[in-house]
Amino acid sequence: MKIAFTLICICLSIFYGKSQTKEGKLKNLRQITFGGDNAEAYFSFDSKKLTFQTNNPKWNLKCDQIYWLSLETQKEDSAYQPHLLSTGLGRTTCSYYMPNGKDILYASTHLAGKECPPPPAPRGDKKYLWAVYPEFDIFVANESGKIGSQLTDSKGYDAEATISPKGDKIVFTSDRSGDLELWTMDIDGKNQKQITSGLGYDGGAFFSPDGKKIVFRASRPKTEEEISDYKALLNEHLVAPTNMEIYTCNTDGSDLKQVTNLGKANWAPFFHPSGKKIIFSSNHHSQKGYDFQLFMINEDGTNLERITQESMFNAFPMFSPDGKKLVFSSNRNNGGGRDTNLFIADWVD
């Protein structure tokens, strides 16, 4: 009996050891939203709050709206409803805390109408497409939802804005020059400048911890057919995000470098607190297409490391400014449904 008990203990130790190291970089993982699609959660500069977008049907939302929550007071249950920031009109996306910790910028279509602009219509070719609504502009509101300023008013898509850790610059995506390129502007919206120019979709950009570099996702159509398809879709305000790689550049667009060359969709990149690595979401390993896991890679494209193992969708990772935590979206723990929720964990290097 003593030998059998010892063997059982050894087996249990091996089993639990493996389960605990399955996602060894993530410690004390906890779920912080419960229902709907919750995504693009980003920390405030003091690491104490999150802003994010959700379409939770329990809150009578017909499409994405912007909410914020305090990590110190938020309750981890399905009945808890964070604070609505956006107007509740139109469709919103891509929110980010301003340096003062009291205001949040986000993109919205509410000036063009109260209703949600429709998602892309089903197509005969069954392509998976993202809409880049030309009605999007970038606004700044306080946590009560009062809009204090409008940072963009050009014709076309202006969205995907994030802020430098230095608190001086904003990077965003715009198609005002005829293609989806990265632009920068001062924190007050002045001095808007285009910094990328390669044909293809450039988006989802974030600054490095020192504010000197930018990491982003990009498609680069090369063949005549790919270029023709890309331009035709863009003319319909659509992009096909199925072939993207990770790039970096300086904040003025110089020293452009391709980091990944993995194939399929590599996206949602964010710099590791060291500024030397990049975490991102990818399905390059998948035989089915829809299996997105978080990976980390050196900024020179070496040492690819898988971070997540659970569920079929993990994306939008962001490190807290203090480097202690990682927040991301995942469809784990959804009971086999379609919900995507926010999860936060202590980061273990």
CA 349/CA 346 separation, integer angstroms: 10
pLDDT for the residue numbered 195: 98
For the stretch 241-290, pLDDT in tens is 999 999 999 999 999 999 999 999 999 999 999 999 999 999 999 987 68
Helix (H) or strand (E) holding 16: helix 2-21
Split at pLDDT 50, 70, 90, the class of 336 is confident
CA distance to 155, 193, 250, per residue, from 213 (Å): 28, 15, 4
For domain 24-347, the CATH superfamily is: TolB, C-terminal domain (2.120.10.30)
Q: For a pLDDT cut of 70, what percent of the chain falls above it?
A: 94
% of residues, the chain, pLDDT over 90: 87
pLDDT in tens, 190-235: 999 999 999 999 999 999 999 999 999 999 999 999 999 999 999 9
* Res. 126 pLDDT band, cuts 50 70 90: confident
Per residue in 38-60, pLDDT tens? Answer: 999 999 999 999 999 999 999 99
**Type of residue numbered 348:** V
Compute the CA torsion angle 173, 203, 44, 308 (nearest 10 deg).
Answer: 170
In the chain, what are the domain boundaries? 24-347
Q: What global pTM score does this model have?
A: 0.92
How confident is the model at residue 208, as a pLDDT?
A: 98
Q: Are 36 and 54 in contact (CB under 8 A)?
A: yes
Cα gap 155→116, rounded to integer Å: 19
pLDDT tier, 79 (very low <50, low <70, confident <90, very high otherwise) = confident
pLDDT in tens, 127-141: 899 999 999 999 999
